[in-house]
């Protein structure tokens, strides 16, 4: 495969269209086990997704053939991946270690990593946010938060 051809297949819209076709085809398989009337809407939507994604793919490849350069999805991919990883890490930590310990760590951590590094500001902000959450949700509404699977087990 030549480099030009490889680049054409790595265009964001092309990749998205291929991903959609694969995912929609995968989801189409379970519809065969459903009653026809139950499968009607989901199958129609999945087939619609496949057809429309194919149209998107063709349209994007035409643009590529015409020499149109695809815009990059992100200007700072490292920061995006880092931000998403931190959010996923926070969710997993909440699940395993509990809501309050994870929250006390995540607020200053995210802020500091992404540029806000005033120690006093971070301490005050963390205390206000965590305190307000406790007061409103835990104390006021009796809302239970994850206590952490590690401690429960």
Site string for another protein, 37-76 (x = CB under 8 A): xx--xx--xx-xx--xx-xx--x-------------xxxx
Q: Which of 145, 120, 11, 3 is nearest to 72 (CA)?
A: 11
Residue 7 within binding range of another protein, rule CB under 8 A: no
Residue 95 within binding range of another protein, rule CB under 8 A: yes
Q: Which of 94, 95, 104 is nearest to 133 (CA)?
A: 104
**Could you tell me if 110 and 86 are in contact, meaning their C-beta atoms sit under 8 angstroms apart?**
yes
**Could you tell me if 17 and 56 are in contact, meaning their C-beta atoms sit under 8 angstroms apart?**
yes
Q: Which of 106, 94, 107, 86 is nearest to 144 (CA)?
A: 94
Contact residue for another protein among 13, 21, 64, 98 (CB under 8 A):
13
Which residue, 3 or 66, is less far from another protein as judged by CB? 66
* Distance separating alpha carbons of residues 104 and 124, to the nearest angstrom: 11
Which residue, 7 or 38, is less far from another protein as judged by CB? 38
Of 2-10, 61-69, 101-109, the window that binds another protein (rule: CB under 8 A) is: 101-109
* Distance separating alpha carbons of residues 38 and 78, to the nearest angstrom: 43
Interface residues with another protein (CB under 8 A)? 12-13, 16, 20, 27, 30, 34-35, 37-38, 41-42, 45-46, 48-49, 52-53, 55-56, 59, 73-76, 79-80, 82-84, 87-88, 90-91, 94-95, 99, 103, 106-116, 121-122, 125, 129, 133, 137, 141, 143-146
């Amino acid at each position: 495969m030549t480099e030009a051809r490889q680049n054409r297949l790595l265009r964001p819209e092309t990749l998205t269209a291929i991903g959609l076709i694969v995912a929609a085809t995968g989801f189409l398989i379970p519809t065969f086990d459903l009653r026809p009337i139950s499968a009607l809407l989901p199958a129609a939507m999945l087939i619609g997704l496949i057809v429309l994604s194919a149209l998107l793919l063709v349209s994007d490849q035409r643009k590529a053939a015409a020499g149109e350069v695809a815009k990059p999805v992100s200007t700072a991919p490292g920061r995006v991946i880092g931000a998403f990883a931190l959010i996923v890490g926070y969710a997993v930590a909440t699940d395993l270690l509990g809501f309050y310990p994870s929250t006390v760590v995540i607020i200053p951590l995210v802020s500091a990593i992404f540029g806000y590094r005033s120690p006093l500001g971070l301490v005050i902000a963390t205390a206000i946010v965590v305190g307000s959450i406790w007061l409103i949700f835990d104390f006021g509404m009796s809302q239970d938060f994850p206590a952490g699977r590690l401690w429960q087990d």
